[in-house]
Homo-oligomer: A and B are copies of this chain.
């Protein structure tokens, strides 16, 4: 069933409204008709709706039922990804959304070859957030994970330390993800996962993380590419926490 994300201001009692490009999409691309059913997602809840009116500016919907989104994991996982070369971040964002991340935060580390300035990255950011939105629709998320602005390595360490379980995937090895105690966790536990760019991390960066209490984790003896490591780590964490 077609799936759209709306803001809470677009829900009014028993009715909900789809506006802008999504309204055009409903009427023209999908050629939906009055009475057809769509799912509207708003702040983690899913509304099963029936179309009452269709136009290029607004589609009015009757809300038939509402439920918590079933596809959301019960952990809040943020991926901190060192900026990789070329368009690899696009693949990483798409896959992280499919795998259940609640946010993706690009980081500048010492070994990043690609070092976009704020202005040139802002253009990329629009595109990355569109990819996140499309992935969220396609895989049935009920929130849209956001890709945030690039942060420095020090800021990343700070934010990681605010998570219940902060992890750095370190190419020189560390704990196995299975050795982390995922068992007795509180609801909506926060997890932060830092993954390096091509070439991984400077030893000084890894030391900084470890002395700040961030758990170094190894992903086995094969050298994973910088876009494979986050996909593998997220898959494994979602499985170990019962979310996949």
Residues on A close to B: CB < 8 A? 70-71, 95, 98-100, 138-141, 176-178, 219-225, 228, 231-233, 235-236, 238-240, 242-244
When A71-B222, A231-B231, A244-B219 are in contact, do A239 and B236 touch as well, CB less than 8 Å?
yes
Given A220-B244, A243-B220, A244-B220, A235 contacting B231 (CB threshold 8 A)? yes
CB distance from A136 to the nearest CB of B (A): 9
- Alpha-carbon separation in the docked complex, A93 to B64 (Å): 44
* Cβ distance A172 to chain B, nearest Cβ, rounded Å: 14
Chain B nearest CB from A237 CB (Å) reads 9
Residues of B within 8 A of A99 (CB): 222, 224, 228, 232
Copy total for this chain:
2
> A138–B95 contact, CB under 8 A?
no
The 7 A-B residue pairs whose C-beta atoms are closest, nearest first, are A220-B244, A232-B235, A235-B235, A71-B221, A139-B222, A236-B239, A139-B223
Give the complex CA separation of A95 and B224 in angstroms.
Answer: 9
- A99-B222, A99-B228 known; 17 other A-B pairs, CB under 8 Å? A70-B221, A71-B220, A95-B228, A98-B228, A100-B220, A138-B225, A139-B224, A140-B221, A140-B223, A141-B222, A176-B242, A220-B243, A220-B244, A231-B235, A236-B236, A236-B244, A239-B240
**Chain B residue nearest in CB terms to A236:** B239
CA distance A65 to B134 in the complex (A): 52
Contacts A232-B231, A235-B231, A239-B239 hold; do A222 and B177 have CB atoms under 8 A apart?
Answer: no
